[in-house]
Structure 1
Amino acid sequence: MPNSSDAPTSHDAAEAPSEPVKTDVAVIGAGPVGLFAVFECGMLKMSCHVIDALDDVGGQLTALYPEKPIYDIPGHPDILAGDLIANLEAQAAPFHPTYHLSQQVTALASKPDGRWQLTTSKGVSIDAGAVIIAAGVGAFGPNRPPLDGIQDFEGLGAGLGVNYLVKRREDFRGKKVIIAGGGDSAVDWAVSLAEVAESIKVVHRRPKFRAAPETVQRMEALAKSGNVELVVPYQLAGLEGGPDGLNAVRVADLDGNDRVLEADVLLPFFGLSQNIGPIAEWKLGIEHNHISVDPATMNAGRAGIFGAGDIVSYPGKLKLILMGFSEAALAAHSARDHIHPNEAYHFEHSTSSGVPGSA
């Protein structure tokens, strides 16, 4: 059963308990999919402990781009990433999950009774009936472009030098911004920052962009109106500046033609390096840093372990948050069947059942 009202939501256990804490489900990952898994488990009257290596809930949405608008969440024509996380955390709150943040699961062991024992890097021990792995891309960091002296321009502050993320649009107000890359992050931020920056130039090695078509169309419309300049086909060639920061970004095309672009800040969006850490050693079906799952149950190859979100792979998989939400619901129902194999469950929609424990 979910924790009672006298056991409020916890955002970390400062010290490891002397005995293992017992829960129905251990959720590994406190990103959007992990948070929704807590809600789905709660609706099935299962308690959750949630473990995440970051110091706050939200995963990439909180750590990398809380002010980035998201356009493909059903019912929200657009919603800021940070607002989506706040809503998901509020949605999970009635079920009083316990969050173990700033730590990762370092060991996972099966128990004779079919349950699972998890140990974290802070020494917390969790006895869980089932495990849902919603760890996104695992531990992540930006892929740094191979430019001489790039480290000299890192860490100068938001909106200065080389930044790998945008937490606050206001940091870039009135700045000359160079965005490098051709994926969703590059295109999304070109559209968004065009509203506040002095200038936006997007550097990409080919005219075709690998982003949502509607957003690409918006960026191209901004380019036609002169609010964004598309610097294609070019790629980064060097940085110019001094102790006071970045002054310009040099770019070159395949024929060796150079351009020098005035700049206050460079935003290189070349994806994230991915490391799933100890998960790779848990005898699951790992392929290219992803867990192969059964799409009907989200089972990860061992009884009682399920996956959801960007970390899982199966035929037809799409890396969309809304797909992760669906996978979280399937994983929660499968976890309930594993924990209570002999109990029939009568499925009800939330409009019929309400939220258990709510007024």
Structure 2
Amino acid sequence: MFLVKIQNNHGKVILCDFGKEHLIIKNYDLAVIGGGPVGLFTAYFARLHGLKTVLLESLNDLGGQPEMLYPFKQILDIPVFKEISAGSLISRLKDDLDDSVAIVTGHKVADVTKNEDGSLTIDGEFQVRSLIIATGNGAFKPKKFPLKADAEASQRIHYFFKDPQFFAGKTVGIFGGGDTALDWANELAAYAKVTLIHRREQFRGMESSVQKLQDNPQVSLMTPYLPKSMEMAGGKLAICLKEVGQPDHLETLAFDQILVAYGFRADNRFVKKWGVELDHGLIAVSRSMQTSAPGIYAVGDACGYEGRVPVIGIGFGEAQIAVNAIMRDLFPEKTLTVHSTALSK
């Protein structure tokens, strides 16, 4: 299979994959980059407006951080639902999509170029009339545990998990002090003996989560401590911890498994190659979610503006704003449907 350019019946040049048996034209109104909750909703809302849409996700599975990090977590700030697990939310969002949305997983977008007619070419494979970036915090790479680990130890160090039963009956150490670490500790306390190690006395997560941990006899809190050294001993990970501010105060704890929640290295700098400007590491957008590059929009935690709150519900609203702006731009002759009661599948 090789890439060729052909001219359609309207005289427009489009990119195609020319195979031995048939011709596949990859031509869309809109590409959504990012398959997390906001990206999934963006593709769904675009479909409601009749936009021919392709969704591109760098991971092999859809769902982003909620699916990878905390599918069991109950989310409390999604409109309509008093509470819904992250896994259920992603499942519902995926179910909303049908065959009218092309989904491509395992595709990390590298190159976006502007064509003479104003369209955009993505990685020489897709030609689109508009683009919405919904990549969240960018590169999905966890910050690694700072201690050297051999092959045996590495098998006991985890940065994600989906099935709490894997840790049943084990002694588990969790390193970190944000919402992810707190959520993991609260979830695994029903299955395992948990120790939460954080470098500060205060946690960065929700106070209600901290209180729940403090009241749970299955959870021990080690603060303020940092990992100093590690070795395998008796089939367990023996980790030496040093107290912050007290370098001579060391404690060694043994774990069957450890989870590391030191966060992720946020990186949206790749969009600068596409002519998209950043503001303090986030994509700068207008009130219509338009970036500095014509035809390219950004929604969700990838973008930033004064007063923005980084929650999923806000991203859903931004997706609607961006899609409406794209509709006005691509189809100025159409009367735009903007009322929820007027939209239908």
1:100 aligned residue:
104
Distance (whole Å) between structure 2 residues aligned to residue 139 and residue 20 of structure 1: 29
Moved over 6 A (4+): none
1:301–1:277 Cα change, 3 Å: closer
Conservation of the 8 A alpha-carbon contact between 1:280 and 1:289: no
| 1:317 aligned onto 2:308 | yes
Distance (whole Å) between structure 1 residues aligned to residue 135 and residue 60 of structure 2: 14
Instruction: Tell me the SS of whatever aligns to 1:291.
Output: strand
1:20–1:108 Cα change, 3 Å: farther
Instruction: Tell me the SS of whatever aligns to 1:271.
Output: coil
| 1:60 aligned onto 2:65 | yes
Shift of 1:34: 0.7
Distance (whole Å) between structure 2 residues aligned to residue 325 and residue 150 of structure 1: 43
Conservation of the 8 A alpha-carbon contact between 2:70 and 2:183: no
Aligned AA (1:180)? F
- Residue by residue over 1:47-106, the C-alpha shift from the partner in whole angstroms, topping out at 9 and shown as x without a partner, is 21111111121122333443344333233343332221110011222x620011111222
1:248 aligned residue:
238
Instruction: Tell me the SS of whatever aligns to 2:215.
Output: helix
| 1:219 aligned onto 2:213 | yes
With the length of structure 1 as denominator, give the TM-score of the two structures. Answer: 0.83
Shift of 1:290: 2.2
1:133 aligned residue:
133
Aligned AA (2:275)? K
Distance (whole Å) between structure 2 residues aligned to residue 183 and residue 228 of structure 1: 16
Instruction: Tell me the SS of whatever aligns to 2:240.
Output: strand
Conservation of the 8 A alpha-carbon contact between 1:297 and 1:330: yes
Conservation of the 8 A alpha-carbon contact between 1:150 and 1:239: no
Conservation of the 8 A alpha-carbon contact between 1:138 and 1:311: yes
Instruction: Tell me the SS of whatever aligns to 1:195.
Output: coil
1:106–1:206 Cα change, 3 Å: closer
| 1:200 aligned onto 2:194 | yes
Larger RCO: 1 or 2 (CA < 8 Å, sep 6+) = 1
With the length of structure 2 as denominator, give the TM-score of the two structures. Answer: 0.87
Question: What number of residue pairs does the alignment pair up?
Answer: 325
2:228 aligned residue:
237
Shift of 1:176: 0.6
Instruction: Tell me the SS of whatever aligns to 1:230.
Output: strand
1:190–1:258 Cα change, 3 Å: same
Distance (whole Å) between structure 1 residues aligned to residue 167 and residue 157 of structure 2: 12
| 1:264 aligned onto 2:264 | no
- Residue by residue over 1:215-251, the C-alpha shift from the partner in whole angstroms, topping out at 9 and shown as x without a partner, is 22222322xxx22111112122222315x74333221
Instruction: Tell me the SS of whatever aligns to 1:178.
Output: strand
Shift of 1:275: 3.6
Gapped regions of structure 1 (runs ≥ 5): 1-12
> What pairs up with 1:273-352 in 2 under 5 angstroms?
273-276=265-268, 278-294=270-286, 296-349=287-340, 352=341
Distance (whole Å) between structure 2 residues aligned to residue 191 and residue 150 of structure 1: 29
- Using the aligned pairs only, state the percent identity: 30
Shift of 1:152: 4.8
Alpha-carbon RMSD across the aligned residues, in angstroms, is 2.3
1:187–1:150 Cα change, 3 Å: farther
| 1:118 aligned onto 2:122 | yes
From 158, 161, 165, the counterpart of 1:166: 161
Distance (whole Å) between structure 1 residues aligned to residue 63 and residue 275 of structure 2: 27
Distance (whole Å) between structure 1 residues aligned to residue 269 and residue 152 of structure 2: 29
Distance (whole Å) between structure 2 residues aligned to residue 69 and residue 262 of structure 1: 30
- Residue by residue over 1:96-148, the C-alpha shift from the partner in whole angstroms, topping out at 9 and shown as x without a partner, is 200111112222122233222222xxx5x222121111112223211113213
Conservation of the 8 A alpha-carbon contact between 1:240 and 1:249: yes
Shift of 1:213: 2.6
Answer with 333-342 or 174-183: which moved more.
333-342
2:153 aligned residue:
153
Instruction: Tell me the SS of whatever aligns to 1:274.
Output: coil
